[in-house]
A and B are shown apart, each in its own frame.
Chain A
Amino acid sequence: MGAAQRPTDRAGIDWPARLHVVTGKGGTGKTSVAAALALGLAAGGRRTLLVEVEGRQGIAQLFGTEPLPYAERHLVDAPGGGTVAALAVDAEEALLEYLDMFYKLGAAGRALRKFGAIDFATTIAPGLRDVLLTGKVKEATTRTVDQRRVYDAVVLDAPPTGRIGRFLNVTAETARLAKMGPIKTQSDGVSALLRSPMTAVHVVTLLEEMPVQETVDAIAELTSLGFGVGRVIVNGTRAPLPTGRLVTEAELTRGLRAAGLPASTGIVTGLHHEARDLMIRRELEDSLRTDLVDLGVPLVELPLLPDGVNRAGLEVLAAALVQAD
């Protein structure tokens, strides 16, 4: 079964990367978008992994499950037989796992924990912490069983725009601290993956001033650091207003009467006030959208979910993401 036999499925064409890093300003819905992307990319029988690294348990809250352990668990089935697994990476656990894998530490590993070494190591050197987190993501992305990749795509719910450059730029951070040795080797490997065409960084935004400003700043930063920007994903968009102009109070009075509604001065001026606010808002949104288009990065718009983010809503977002065009 090749992709060619699924003509409606453009996921593999439009989202060519294998590791999708999803960032965005806090409050823009990046966790929901990351989950929707994992769901969308799994549609049609693929396997994807949704990863979080900030200890927020955002995935569990979104899907209403128990807090995720440091283990890959089946999260949901996607339409057409695909599956989405989830993983909450914990820096301490990642360090222990890493040590165990490379050094067969056993009792010494437990001693490390007892001495507070893990807490120490992940606190003193945030670069090290990020190497551990991204290292685990790299491992999952490149893992194979019987020469087949375990996951077709890995979606990372990454730190927000304000921290994303630093988070991904692990080599620079650790190179200052570790000039040789296994940590250096590890961070070099992570850096190579993150800067390869296998990885795309997507920035989630709303049509509001601060998120758009942070999107512009983040894309400039990511580009200058050598990371590939995939998409700008505009969340919570609304259909354009059909008339595109502000109704007059006289028109409104006539309209309300025609609809058999009361048309008192209070109601007419009140509704007119609402309409004017909406118009101001929409004009601002249009100008922000232009700023985003000017970035020259492919833009995907996701609809505002009237009932909030639930499972059905995620399916809507997933479909909007992978069937965009």
Chain B
Amino acid sequence: MPSDNAAPPLDVDRILADPGVRIVVCCGAGGVGKTTTAAALALRAAEQHGRRTVVLTIDPARRLAQSLGLTELDNTPRQVKGIDVEDSGGELHAMMLDMKRTFDDVVLAHTDPAKAAEIFANPFYQAMSSTFAGTQEYMAMEKLGQLHARGEWDLIVVDTPPSRSALDFLDAPARLSRFLDGRMLRLLLAPARTGGRSMFSLVTASFGMFSRVVQKVIGTQLLTDLSGFVAALDSMFGGFRQRAEQTYRILQARETAFLLVAAPEPDAVREAAYFAGRLGAEQMPLAGLVLNRVHRPTVTELGTAESRAAADRLAAAGGHEGTVEVLRAHAALAEQAVREQQVAARFTEAFPQVPAVSVTAQPADVHDVDGLRTIAAAISRH
């Protein structure tokens, strides 16, 4: 298609059918149809390519979730019934991420029940497990790691959280381990550790002042809770970090394919370009760009100016209101298509080697399996 500019066409079917590809990560700005794209691709992998597929969604629209049979956050993949897998022998399972429960599971897996109870009761844990900047991203990656480690899936399709920035989920593991390893944390822990040699003996003098400042600013009670939290979590830090690093390596491996999802709007395209650069820097495999919600007139023979002029002529002459309306709508659509191509070109010009596919905007939103199938077919045309 000439409207896909110079980018090579993205062959999604080749990715979905490739037994070497075990993880597909859909990422991009919020509001570009990321969740729908992830669900549609997972459906196609199961129906067309016979793969035992699980889709991990973060925050699906209610009706989309219902169409996949997801009625609650239960953190367990549920098989999606009523799909067409008789010929292919594939399966589709879906789950919604429960951030808090995933975090609780991590704690339980790394510590004994008594200590876990102590951690769960700490106000800092309660705040962190539900609101920590990056917890959702980190837990999405944690869940991905878990699903991958179990080895029971041919393909895991991941939707990424609607972050402030699409990069958050890449940064979350590093940020968490930086936090857990941080000097600050060790400083706070230092008084709690008994018998151990303080690694901050050289700065003890300044730490005295520092500690007083911290106490003055954040209050003694808060500091006590915090160091209680930190001490309780201390035993788990190694595990946390190791897992974060493991997941990071999986994301760099050849078994992973990143798909950028965008819409032809300046913010979404800028975010996609930013992400493409970042994936390159992190040596993570970028498979292509899915450009959703692209407007394309069905009739290409009739340009914007021509149909607008014709509409004006007809309107001036009187009558034919229906045709006037259709011609004006067509002119607006053709104009929008041109503008969208210009916006999309900002990505393809910066990353000409990244395969891309454009998906025509649907007149109504998708919230059933048939709709997902239609979307998947549109993404897979090549």
Contact = CB atoms under 8 A, between A and B. Distances in A.
Given A103-B213, A210-B61, A281-B364, A162 B31 contact: no
A: contact size bracket: 35 or more
B214 interface: yes
A126 B126 CA distance: 12
A121 B133 CA distance: 12
Contact of B131 (A27, A105, A166, A245): A166
Contacts of A243: 321-322, 325
Interface string B103-125: 00000000000000000000110
A159 interface: yes
B162 A271 contact: no
B221 A117 contact: no
A103 to B, nearest CB: 7
Contacts of A27: 29-32, 263, 265, 267-268
B301 interface: yes
A258 B265 CA distance: 37
B131 A126 contact: yes
Which of A54, A55, A56, A261 has the most chain B CB within a 10 Å cutoff?
A261
Contacts of A105: 213
A162 B60 CA distance: 12
A270 B323 contact: no
A20 interface: no
Given A27-B30, A56-B165, A251 B126 contact: no
A308 B162 CA distance: 24
A255 B164 contact: no
B320 interface: yes
A137 B183 CA distance: 31
A125 B217 contact: no
A184 interface: yes
Quick one: which of A125, A160, A281 has the most chain B CB within 10 A?
Answer: A125
A242 B263 CA distance: 29
A320 to B, nearest CB: 19
Interface string B300-337: 01100011001101100101111111110110110100
Nearest to A176: B123
Interface string A282-318: 0010000000000000000000001010000000000
Given A27-B263, A54-B164, A210 B365 contact: yes
A22 to B, nearest CB: 16
Nearest to B299: A270
Interface string A87-112: 00000000000010001010010011
Contact of A274 (B123, B221, B298, B317): B298
Contacts of A220: none
Contacts of A210: 31, 61, 365
A274 B59 contact: no
Interface string A141-165: 0000000000000000001101000
B363 A281 contact: yes
Contacts of B216: 103
Contact of B325 (A108, A159, A180, A247): A247
A284 to B, nearest CB: 5
A159 B164 contact: yes
Contacts of B127: 125-127, 173, 176-177
A251 B323 contact: yes
A101 to B, nearest CB: 12
B354 interface: no
A182 interface: yes
A258 B299 contact: no
Given A103-B216, A179-B221, A258-B320, A274 B182 contact: no
A177 to B, nearest CB: 6
A81 to B, nearest CB: 31
A183 B324 contact: no
Nearest to B335: A306
Nearest to B323: A255
Given A27-B29, A105-B213, A119 B184 contact: yes
A40 interface: no
A120 B179 contact: yes
Interface of A: 25-28, 54-56, 61, 99, 103, 105, 108, 111-112, 115-117, 119-121, 123-127, 129, 159-160, 162, 166, 173, 176-184, 208-211, 213, 241-243, 245, 247-248, 251-252, 254-256, 258-262, 266-267, 270-275, 277-278, 280-281, 284, 306, 308
Given A27-B265, A27-B268, A255-B314, 12 more contacts: A26-B31, A56-B165, A112-B210, A124-B179, A162-B162, A179-B221, A181-B218, A209-B365, A252-B326, A259-B311, A270-B297, A280-B363
9 contacts: A27-B31, A28-B31, A123-B175, A182-B219, A262-B301, A266-B301, A271-B327, A274-B329, A274-B330
Interface of B: 29-32, 59, 61-63, 123-124, 126-128, 131-133, 162, 164-165, 175, 179, 182-185, 187, 206, 209-210, 213-214, 216-219, 221-222, 225-226, 263, 265-268, 270, 297-299, 301-302, 306-307, 310-311, 313-314, 317, 319-327, 329-330, 332-333, 335, 339, 363-365, 367
